[in-house]
Structure 1
């Protein structure tokens, strides 16, 4: 048995499965065997419990225990159908909201908030009162009434996933809505949604019974557990045992569902075991460089502002990156480094607006709408936090090969072999094993190297690395920087390296752009930076903040010691 199988079969999950299996077997087997005792009128009326009648008989001489067993089938069927309607409808609605345009999403979320303000049972009572009472009415009423609550939770979870870097990258690469939902959104929400689904099952079971109890559910001659509770009211003081059977069966089924949900949720978690559209753009997808312009990346007069243009975050930025050149963008947090890089990649958040006289990568016009396949081949991105870059609910293999399979037309086998070679090239040990592991099973350095490998397999013209060494220790940083140099030397890839650490930039980059408060204040060559030949006070303050090893103090101390031994002043 695998580790994941052992994790699934916890004591709670085992108890839940055993109890639910017993309830389901009762629902399947009991009706054909005991229907006669459950339906037949006899003279043995209102008998107390006995070996012949475990729960006694009712006022019509029918066996109460047999009636509970028979009622279990209809109750379970109705509960499953109503839960299915709520879960499927809520899941589809919640995911669709976050794949819709922003305006549609905001209005939909407001409507959901209004809908969930009404208790599910009250909404179901209203629906059931409008329709004719019956089993079908009860199923539809509770199924429809449960959709808003499930959709609201799904939308909240989907919103968190939609802001994750791995989702933004997939969307940037042109992954379709269906694949975005089934590969990224739904798997990442599996744990809480499984718990919620089982909670809904348990709640619906009680509410289905409640509808029948008040006369809006199952109608005679049919009966479910709620109907039996209603029938027991008249004899509640004289023979309360009649209410015990359906109440206990409801409790057993509900608790079993909750135990199963907890076990499935833990198993789904690998650690324990507006439809989106780009911002309106101008121009076409192809840009023609000006005559004599050899730069791979050209940015002229870039401005980035908040929605409505109230606050300008980046303004007047002019930038170029030549082919096979490593250019560093440095500055403190909030200086506009990442916004500039994301503008180049076409990945600014929806709520931000941008404008530029020119914004191109090669012949791709980033003010227009380049084809996702062209973007995937020309531009690669490496994010700051390797822990959030990959989908935690999927193994590394499918994620690392997705671009090759989607945009390069490779077969699954060829894509896998290519990525394995790339992982080995950047120093990932046992690459075949890493492909089968989940992201949390890799160290931070391994995940960072895996990101680099995924970025280089398409042989991109431009690699954008946003603070890629911040979360790594010094020894791992050195390895990552060597991998960047090797990438430039081997493939001729240009690199736009974003960092707040001038020490790292000084070791890696050919040229450095210094940003402060959303604008460029100075540009330096590697030689100028190495010689501390800077002119702007802000750049000087960044250099002064780089830790320096003082080797003169030790020399002075040693000289003083020798002088003391010789009996002279140092």
Structure 2
């Protein structure tokens, strides 16, 4: 009793009114036919069409039956039909909307949605009612199918933004089916508007079903609902209006109750409705490699002549990556650096088979873990689980409605729940996450930025990938947390034996964790060298310029920051020559007209430059700007 009183005191007046109204309708629906069923069916020839009185508050009908009793008894059938029609609409609509987000069949389902939405829902309901025949069952099917396209479009619209999230891309990369992505990731993240829409639709379904019964297409005698009672009450509208107002008021109050329930449910969902964890990961072990695809011994990834284009405003292909060559050995740690827009992240997406539409990927060869990524039929499926991604913004990349441990467990190769839980804790410990058992039970918003970043790295390593790609994973962290995160990443990758592609614009961060440095500029690789050659061994003017812009503890704090003059060329405007030539003091006419190839300068050292050298006195930097 004390708990009940405490619960009621914690409710707002609106919530109390909602609870009272919902309880009232529930109680009437459950007990009404039991308590008043006989009174509702009892005929009285001597009391036909009576006006409201103390014996019959809403009067009697043309057979002398008590109208109020019939309104109360009709509550169960009226609400039950509305809930059933709404359930059909929601299930069918969300299934269609989810299918429209699939890559292969999506356009077909989208076209079907567009066609159905071109017709008014009420017109579709009348059409389906004729198709399915008169009666309660036909009316429920008609209304449910007529409302389904609205749910389909809502699911499609809300789910489209979630499907572009980093954690959904990671889930698809790990082999999760589209249906599971929808139920585990998309629908939970759009639950709030969907719950509100379902309850609003229940109110609309109640009105439409009552309308069909009013027209004689819905519930048939001897059964009756509010719509049928409303139609019967019209004969007394001038002599006894209460006969029609009674069922009309019931429809209005029930619709209000559905709307209030929807608002309350949406708010409850927004404050953290908990969901049942999955029972399985959905896969075990590795997929077989594509037949006929091979890599040199000791190589985990190889790209030759990799290019990615996107259509411009006129539909012409615009090159964003242009002939990238990249090789990563097993267990090797490679850093990929360059200014923003140089193509680093797009290279990672191409290696993962995740270049978004309408991007087009071409290459002489593109193999990762003996899988042909360009194989449209098998490549993406076989690549799942072999490559793992760690994105820049951990809060955006992790699912906000699932616990951290659950997300790490879903990435694990283990199927047994107990083994998976232990593997999750082990992964968190390997990243030196404090109190891993507690962190595993928490949600992403409850973790600090550094801890969440480590948890995301643990999730990636839980898949035991052959190649781990990190896309500027420490950019959003302060320097102290950044150094600690890089240190534990280095240790965890070494322990796992995975190859690492570390993407960053910070050469200092890359040189602290990687063995080899690959420099990109304007969608091209301009230099590839061992980290041990830095800083004096860099040969390309762009690499030398990047090194010159790095501040140090000895830098004059009062002096302006060192910058590279000029700007990165827009995609597709680099021309036939060296893309860096307009910003390079070493450039000549040959640099402007001929593109240099990536050639060997020394063992393990390549550069794409007509005038390579380590002379730092001619680097393209300036001190113009604000101190």
Q: TM-score range by the shorter chain?
A: 0.7 to 0.9
- Tell me if the contact between 2:40 and 2:73 (Cα under 8 Å) persists in the aligned partners: yes
**Structure 1 residue 497 displacement after superposition:** 0.9
TM-score, normalising length from structure 1?
A: 0.85
| Bigger fraction of residues in helix | 1
| 1:394 aligned residue (386, 391, 402) | 402
More divergent stretch after superposition (546-555 vs 507-516): 546-555
**Structure 1 residue 13 displacement after superposition:** 4.9
Partner secondary structure for residue 86 of structure 1: helix
- Aligned residue in 1 for 2:290: 284
Q: For 2:28 and 2:494, locate their aligned partners in 1 and report how far apart those are by CA, in whole Å.
A: 70
Q: How does 1:455-494 map to 2 (within 5 A)?
A: 455-494=460-499
- Aligned residue in 1 for 2:153: 152
Partner secondary structure for residue 452 of structure 1: helix
1:384 aligns with 2:392: yes
Q: For 1:375 and 1:222, locate their aligned partners in 2 and report how far apart those are by CA, in whole Å.
A: 56
- Tell me if the contact between 1:10 and 1:263 (Cα under 8 Å) persists in the aligned partners: no
- Tell me if the contact between 1:47 and 1:56 (Cα under 8 Å) persists in the aligned partners: yes
More divergent stretch after superposition (171-180 vs 337-346): 171-180
Q: For 2:200 and 2:212, locate their aligned partners in 1 and report how far apart those are by CA, in whole Å.
A: 18
**Structure 1 residue 271 displacement after superposition:** 4.6
Deviations 1:144-166 (A, max 9, x none): 10111111111223322322222
1:526 aligns with 2:527: no
- Rate the CA distance shift 1:28–1:480 in 2: closer, same or farther, 3 A: same
Q: How does 1:142-181 map to 2 (within 5 A)?
A: 142-181=143-182
- Aligned residue in 1 for 2:618: none
1:366 aligns with 2:373: yes
1:139 aligns with 2:147: no
Deviations 1:19-65 (A, max 9, x none): 23322322232224323433313323444433322223345433221
Deviations 1:278-308 (A, max 9, x none): xxxxx93563334xx6443322111112368
- Aligned residue in 1 for 2:100: 97
Q: For 1:180 and 1:374, locate their aligned partners in 2 and report how far apart those are by CA, in whole Å.
A: 17
Q: For 1:163 and 1:193, locate their aligned partners in 2 and report how far apart those are by CA, in whole Å.
A: 19
Partner secondary structure for residue 381 of structure 1: strand
- Aligned residue in 1 for 2:308: 304
- Rate the CA distance shift 1:95–1:245 in 2: closer, same or farther, 3 A: same
**Structure 1 residue 73 displacement after superposition:** 2.1
Q: Aligned-residue CA RMSD in angstroms?
A: 3.0
- Rate the CA distance shift 1:289–1:56 in 2: closer, same or farther, 3 A: closer
Partner secondary structure for residue 520 of structure 1: strand
- Rate the CA distance shift 1:12–1:372 in 2: closer, same or farther, 3 A: farther
**Structure 1 residue 340 displacement after superposition:** 1.0
- Rate the CA distance shift 1:112–1:344 in 2: closer, same or farther, 3 A: same
More divergent stretch after superposition (364-373 vs 219-228): 364-373
- Rate the CA distance shift 1:324–1:38 in 2: closer, same or farther, 3 A: closer
Gaps spanning 5+ residues in structure 2: where? 275-288, 560-627
- Rate the CA distance shift 1:25–1:489 in 2: closer, same or farther, 3 A: closer
Q: For 2:537 and 2:233, locate their aligned partners in 1 and report how far apart those are by CA, in whole Å.
A: 90
Q: How does 1:47-446 map to 2 (within 5 A)?
A: 47-99=50-102, 101=104, 104-129=105-130, 132-269=133-270, 271=272, 284-285=290-291, 287-290=293-296, 294-306=298-310, 310-368=317-375, 369=378, 375-376=384-385, 378-404=386-412, 408-446=413-451
Deviations 1:103-154 (A, max 9, x none): x312321321231232212221233345543322321221110111111111
Gaps spanning 5+ residues in structure 1: where? 274-282, 556-570
More divergent stretch after superposition (468-477 vs 81-90): 468-477
Length, aligned pairs only: 534
Partner secondary structure for residue 360 of structure 2: strand
- Rate the CA distance shift 1:488–1:146 in 2: closer, same or farther, 3 A: closer
Partner secondary structure for residue 45 of structure 2: coil
- Rate the CA distance shift 1:551–1:394 in 2: closer, same or farther, 3 A: closer
TM-score, normalising length from structure 2?
A: 0.78
Partner secondary structure for residue 100 of structure 2: helix
Q: For 1:138 and 1:287, locate their aligned partners in 2 and report how far apart those are by CA, in whole Å.
A: 57
- Rate the CA distance shift 1:238–1:438 in 2: closer, same or farther, 3 A: same
Partner secondary structure for residue 450 of structure 2: helix
Q: For 2:224 and 2:463, locate their aligned partners in 1 and report how far apart those are by CA, in whole Å.
A: 64
Deviations 1:209-259 (A, max 9, x none): 122223332234432111222222233233222222212211222222222
**Structure 1 residue 17 displacement after superposition:** 4.1
Deviations 1:472-517 (A, max 9, x none): 2222211211122213443443211111233423433332222222
Using CA pairs under 8 Å that are at least 6 residues apart, name the structure with larger relative contact order, 1 or 2: 1
